Structure 1
């Protein structure tokens, strides 16, 4: 039989076809395989989406994150996708010694003979590097050298405390200012708002190292008017200096938890529901034994960026020190009434221009005042302190509670 005919016979042989059940099984198998691949694809897309969203938000808002942080000031707390504080993220060390270097000299500029002989009162004005006009206004008014040297029965010295700027021109200007006035303390830290606690601890370090025989230390800001004669009158009347920690007392203050707020305090920085009672950082006075105790306690206490809460609240509580209120101190602006200004110790939010005006009114000997002016001002300050939302804290007064 020829090859061609053999091939014809082959083509005519019946072919073995798959059964209907096998066709259905194969089809279902393929369908299931397709569904599995589809589901797997969705899982991959979902995983990529989960990776993308945090990555996107980390670019849009570098202050977001997620971690579990032990050793928080006030307790242990789990941080989950909450806004971090600029400069003090949850992974940033809050060990004071890391920044203060207690065993080393960190001072860049320091006044010569500021505490020789030891003054009765040393006033340190915390000032920003760029605030030259504010420092000039203070020097020419309540801290003018002639009055400090000749008008009081006690030795009073005033200096300005600054950190460093990332602008070398400003740093050079500060060096020239120091050369001219010999009243600037400059320390090695970046002078920013969230570093105010470092500035205050640096103040305690410098004073403890250089001015230990001094009797009283006042910490204040460059937008504050200080009535030195009234302050000296009060301090001189105290039966003893030791244990002094006075200012404008703030009670039952609660941390701000809104990340959009300038004074936001995340839970990983402070986990308690309320701060300890503390003194407004606008101005407070302490004896040198208290300054030493607060400094030593700060070296063992994790940093909280709100310097007044940290120094006069948290550290004071740990050192078993009690901050005390004095009605002559206030963090609210005073009325431009010379009789009121003569009767109080501090006035807040005084611009360089208004500093000269205030000084002129306070030193005007032709103005006579009555006691009624003083009592009305004390009442006004007390009412302001009782409001529900002031500055960077929320005050919740308990029925019958006293803030004194």
Structure 2
């Protein structure tokens, strides 16, 4: 009898538990059904009206972002497009000076001449090439060394040719070296060196020159033109080093580093001495001064322009995305902006020393063996360090 009661009690308990679970499931099912049937209406419009930035570069970038976003652009009709977005300040020829900018930048008249020059020609991205080397990448190089230089810097270029920029086969890899130049104009008080430059180009066949004013603010123009040149002349380059003509580069170390990369890592490679959490300098005495009328906000992470290393695949993507980023007067920051637009960020590598190494190590050959780049170095120092690293007697145990 007791056994029967226990069984009956167990059956009643299980039945009650099942009934309780059924009620809970039924309630959730009813709620889900009601929620699916209920239409949620947003309280605010999904696309908000864009407000113009007070800074000229930011405003130009807003215009490009809208222009290159068909979903956003379709949200405006020609009738309701605000004046600041319906930019009528651009001339039919973007390489003619845009004098309307003088009224678009509030403190234009008080800006230094380098800013005025940049703003007048900010829309121009195409300049004729005057010296080219169309066959220099006939055989696609493993590493392309692209060096930003100025016409008068003959000694730097020659030191690079005799040291870290020696083209040919290094460590069983094909290396090609080119020098990127604009025009050193009389307006910047440069002597006429065109004859000597022509001789240099004929002899070494490694000069690429465009017909534009080679100034600090136009280094971004050089960057854009170089990215275009790569796609036209050297699209098969596996990796690219781009840097200044006053740095020492340990080409051996770079080739060794590249050899050990996995395929995914190699494809998205962009390494250098990365600067983060930076913004524009507001001190007019600083070389990198940018007024608030031109740019507001922080900078994306960027690799210092002394030199950085990236893949040919990244070069192609940078070329494409650069068309959607307004030119900015500081070239390494501009490259960081383009990477941000791609959803990428440069990777910091301790082998890039764009702010030099401690003075006590500078005359030690072994201090350079594990580094990829050191800045700055004179032509004589470049040749000396290269001789150290090339010596079979160098022992850095």
The answer to whether TM tops 0.5 is yes
Out of 142, 152, 175, the residue aligned to residue 198 of structure 2 is 175
> Which consecutive segments of 4 or more residues in structure 1 shift more than 4 A?
67-71, 73-78, 80-83
Give the direction of change, closer, same or farther, for the CA distance of 1:70–1:234 in structure 2 (3 Å limit): closer
Per-residue deviation, residues 221-280 of structure 1 (Å, max 9, x unmatched): 1111111111011111111221111111111112101122211112233211x2111101
Distance 2:208 2:231 in 1: 14
Of 118, 126, 131 in structure 2, the residue corresponding to residue 100 of structure 1 is: 126
Question: Residue 223 of structure 1 aligns with which residue?
Answer: 246
SS in 2 for 1:99: coil
**Secondary structure, aligned partner of 1:246:** strand
1:68 CA displacement: 8.0
Q: Within the alignment, does 1:293 sit opposite 2:317 as a pair?
A: yes
Normalising by structure 2, we get a TM-score of 0.69
In the alignment, the residues of structure 1 paired with residue 192 and residue 119 of structure 2 have an alpha-carbon distance, to the nearest angstrom, of 32
CA contact (8 A) 2:134 2:233 kept: no
Partner of 1:320: 343
**Contact 1:85/1:265 (<8 A) preserved:** no
Query: What is the DSSP-based 3-state SS (H/G/I as helix, E as strand, rest coil) of the residue aligned with 1:186?
Result: strand
- Give TM-score scaled by structure 1 length: 0.68
**1:121 and 2:143 aligned:** yes
The answer to whether the 8 Å contact 2:55/2:295 transfers is no
CA contact 1:68–1:80 (8 Å) conserved in 2? no
Where does residue 256 of structure 1 map in the other structure?
281
Q: Which residue of structure 2 lines up, in the alignment, with residue 305 of structure 1?
A: 329
Partner of residue 199, structure 1 = 222
Alignment partner of 1:351 is 2:378 = yes
- Which of 1 and 2 has greater Rg? 1
1:209 paired with 2:232, answer: yes
Question: Could you tell me which residue of structure 2 aligns to residue 144 of structure 1?
Answer: 166
Q: What residue ranges of structure 2 are gaps of 5+ in the alignment?
A: 1-53, 63-83, 85-103
* Consecutive unaligned residues in structure 1, runs of 5 or more: 1-66, 371-404
Corresponding residue to 1:234 among 254, 257, 276: 257
In structure 2, the CA distance between the partners of 1:80 and 1:236, relative to structure 1 (3 Å rule), is same
How far apart are residue 87 of structure 1 and its match?
A: 3.0
* 2:396 corresponds to 1:369: yes
Compute the displacement of 1:296 (Å).
Answer: 1.9
Cα distance change on mapping 1:333 and 1:68 into 2, 3 Å: closer
**C-alpha spacing 1:83/1:337, structure 2 compared with 1 (3 Å):** farther
C-alpha distance after superposition, 1:45-83 (max 9, x if no partner): xxxxxxxxxxxxxxxxxxxxxx98485367799745785
2:272 to 247, 257, 260: 247
Aligned partner (choices 311, 333, 336) of residue 363 of structure 2: 336
Paired residues for 1:62-101 under 5 Å: 69=56, 71-72=58-59, 79-80=106-107, 83-89=110-116, 92-95=120-123, 98-100=124-126
Q: Please name the residue that 1:134 is paired with.
A: 156
Shift of the alpha carbon at 1:193?
1.4
- Displacement of 1:140: 1.0
Pick closer, same or farther for the CA change 1:70–1:349 going to 2, 3 Å: closer
How many matched pairs?
Answer: 293
CA distance in 2 between counterparts of 1:341 and 1:285 reads 17
C-alpha root-mean-square deviation of aligned residues, in Å? Answer: 2.3
